[in-house]
């Protein structure tokens, strides 16, 4: 039952053209805007020592993957508002299966976004970064999306329909800024960079850059992202059991 539901849920998300456009349009516009400025000029970022177009692509792909994962919140809010989640509880689908299906679907949507951004960047701007480096950067970003998929599920479990959009935008915008996915953190006061190292979006960006280098201390971002994953997972399970007990 869980596998069948996962397949149906994934197919429904992929066929949802409106959601796909929402999660891809903004990152692609950002890639065109920034890539047109920095692409193909051979300049390197003084901090990461990577070509500017590579840094830009990783930031935009992280932005797109984060948006795709977080956007699952709207599906859960809708399902809760119409009572669909209560109906599922009387089927053979387990609570674990339901939550895992949401997580895997969010990860699938994040993967699609990352692959599209990487592919478009490669076609338009022809970075000479080796394929293996791109592969490791993409894998790092995809793994780094896990906490955002869980944040999306958590928002969906708590938010009412009228508050879902503002809450999503507040979380998404805050994470994007603190993660350096829009504006380099170097232009902010030092304390902002210190705070940023607590949030998962900062390490999402860093783990993508480490993948592009195929080097770096992977332990620190892995520990931070794993910590977020465990804490969020516990909150999600607690909230789901509480909702199940009420219904």
Distance of alpha carbon 203 from alpha carbon 199, whole angstroms: 7
- DSSP code of 181? S
Which two tokens mark 121? 């960047």
Distance of alpha carbon 206 from alpha carbon 50, whole angstroms: 12
Spacing of C-alpha 175 from chain mean position: 10
Q: Give me the number of domains the chain comprises.
A: 1
Residue 11 structural domain = 2-246
Q: What is the pLDDT of residue 14?
A: 67
- Residue 107 CA neighbour count, 13 Å, CB half: 17
Reference 113, options 37, 31, 6, 222; nearest CA is 31
- Residue 76 CA neighbour count, 13 Å, CB half: 30
One digit per residue, the tens of pLDDT, for the chain of length 247 reads 567 766 777 677 666 667 777 778 888 988 888 876 665 566 777 777 788 888 889 999 999 999 999 988 888 888 777 777 777 666 777 777 788 888 988 898 899 999 999 999 988 888 778 899 999 999 999 999 999 999 999 998 888 888 888 888 888 888 988 888 877 787 888 888 888 899 999 999 999 999 998 877 888 888 999 999 999 999 999 888 887 776 6
DSSP H helical ranges for 126-218 = 131-144, 146-158, 161-178, 190-196, 200-213
């Amino acid at each position: 039952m869980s596998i069948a539901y996962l397949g149906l849920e994934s197919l429904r998300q992929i066929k949802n053209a409106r959601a796909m456009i929402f999660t891809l349009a903004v990152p692609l516009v950002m890639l065109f805007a920034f890539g047109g400025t920095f692409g193909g000029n051979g300049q390197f970022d003084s901090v990461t020592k990577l070509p500017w177009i590579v840094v830009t692509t990783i930031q935009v792909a992280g932005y797109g993957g984060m948006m795709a994962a977080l956007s699952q919140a709207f599906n859960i809010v809708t399902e809760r508002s119409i009572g669909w989640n209560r109906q599922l509880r009387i089927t053979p689908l387990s609570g674990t299966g339901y939550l895992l299906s949401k997580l895997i679907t969010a990860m699938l949507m994040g993967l699609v976004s990352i692959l599209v951004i990487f592919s478009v960047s490669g076609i338009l701007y022809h970075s000479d970064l080796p394929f293996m480096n791109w592969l490791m950067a993409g894998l790092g970003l995809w793994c780094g999306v896990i906490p955002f998929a869980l944040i999306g599920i958590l928002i969906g479990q708590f938010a009412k329909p009228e508050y879902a959009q503002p809450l999503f935008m507040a979380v998404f915008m805050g994470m994007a800024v603190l993660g350096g996915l829009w504006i380099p953190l170097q232009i902010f006061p030092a304390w902002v960079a210190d705070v940023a190292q607590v949030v998962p979006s900062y390490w999402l960006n860093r783990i993508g850059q480490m993948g592009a280098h195929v080097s770096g201390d992977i332990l620190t971002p892995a520990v931070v992202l794993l910590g977020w994953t465990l804490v969020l997972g516990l909150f999600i399970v607690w909230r789901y059991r509480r909702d199940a007990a009420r219904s």
